[in-house]
Amino acid sequence: MAIYDDLLTAEFVRGEKISWQFRWALYILVFILSTSIWLSLGRVSGFYGMLLSGSAICYNIILTPLIRKGKRYTWIGYISVSIDVIFLTLYNALDTYYNSTLVPVTTAALVLYPVFLFLAALRIDKTLIVYGTVLTVLAMNLLYFLAHPYFDPDVASKLVSADIRGEIYRTSYIILFGALMLMVPGTVKRLLKSQQGVFDESMKHYELARSDKLTGLANKLRIEEFLPIEIARAARNKTKIAIFYLDLNKFKPVNDNYGHEAGDMVLAEVGKRLQTIIREYDLAARVGGDEFVVVIINANTHADRELIRKRISDVFVKPFAINGGTAEIGSCIGLSVYPDDAKEAAALIDFADKDMLRCKVSR
């Protein structure tokens, strides 16, 4: 689930960043409009709108270093939604007090409430969406019921939206929109899980393409990818890598006398035993019919390498079970060391292979 969690966090952070960017555009625009209303028309509501939007801009400035970190901060969403909804409602309240009591049912600012809920949905947090919806409904209705007694009867009677049914309609709209936004996190999570499924399937095929089916060890392709990476790391850290090249002795008689199925059993058992002597960051691979390569990281001293050679030899001390009987299988082991014998992957394996052949000839 690590890839899914990473994708989910990335989407959350992306949603927070989009909300932060939108808030910049919105509050700068509101600040400019409020300033023009205050300076050109002399309306005090413009002055208060300037203060509110300026405060929101300051909040956005405070958020900037946190947004740039690209980390998940759940509290930012709740504070941001609170500021957006409360500041918008306060501005409407000031507009109601200084300009018209009918602002709660006529102002175009009401359309911003759903926008704030949408921004909450981008954070992939259902609890935040519910919180934003409830806060919006409470704020919007509080303003309406505080202003309703002061509506101009002549004007209000001509507005369908001014009576209680209009407020019920607006409230229902906000609730339905919030319910619709609740679908966003689920949809995003389904898409991310689908991506995780594709990733897992790709990794499965990736691993299969780099594994030996019979032994479960790595294959040549995996060795070719693994060694250059480890060589580069060893070059940076000034450490050494040991490559052991193994060829089985007395393996051909097993195939000749017991059949290839028995030979496959021996190879599979060799693979299991080799895996028990290497660490998680080392690598064992089957590179040919009865040939194996073991790569040991941080094999810095001669004593380290000889100890590993003994452990590999000990793998073949115990006889191999074959069709109710046993077979004695040995090995010739060649060795190359990075950077003493070569500095490139192919050259290191070739050196170890030749060292193994010299071992065979000497026997």
Enumerate the β-bridge partners of residue 334: 245
Handedness of CA 37, 42, 43, 49 (dihedral sign): positive
Which of 279, 277, 269 lies closest to 321, judged by CA?
269
Contacts with 65 (C-beta within 8 Å, 6 or more apart), sequence order = none
Q: What are phi and psi of 159, to 5 degrees?
A: -105, 120
DSSP conformation class of 319: P
CB-side neighbour CA atoms (13 Å) of 225: 11
Which of 238, 320, 230 lies closest to 279, judged by CA?
230
Enumerate the β-bridge partners of residue 218: 211, 285
Q: Is 212 a catalytic residue?
A: no
Please state, in angstroms and rounded to a whole number, the distance separating the CA atoms of residues 173 and 167: 10
Contact between 92 and 107 under an 8 Å Cβ cutoff? The reply is yes
DSSP conformation class of 330: E
Enumerate the β-bridge partners of residue 245: 293, 334
Please state, in angstroms and rounded to a whole number, the distance separating the CA atoms of residues 16 and 76: 8
Please state, in angstroms and rounded to a whole number, the distance separating the CA atoms of residues 95 and 143: 11
DSSP labels for 71-89?
Answer: ---HHHHHHHHHHHHHHHH
Please state, in angstroms and rounded to a whole number, the distance separating the CA atoms of residues 133 and 146: 20
Which residue out of 290, 304, 314, 340 is catalytically annotated?
A: 290
Please give the structure tokens belonging to residue 263. Answer: 């030979």
Q: One-letter amino acid identity for 307?
A: L
Please state, in angstroms and rounded to a whole number, the distance separating the CA atoms of residues 221 and 219: 6
Alpha helices (H) in the chain, listed in sequence order: 2-36, 44-69, 74-98, 103-106, 112-121, 126-147, 153-156, 164-181, 183-209, 220-237, 252-258, 260-275, 302-314, 345-362
Task: Tell me the catalytic residues.
Answer: 290
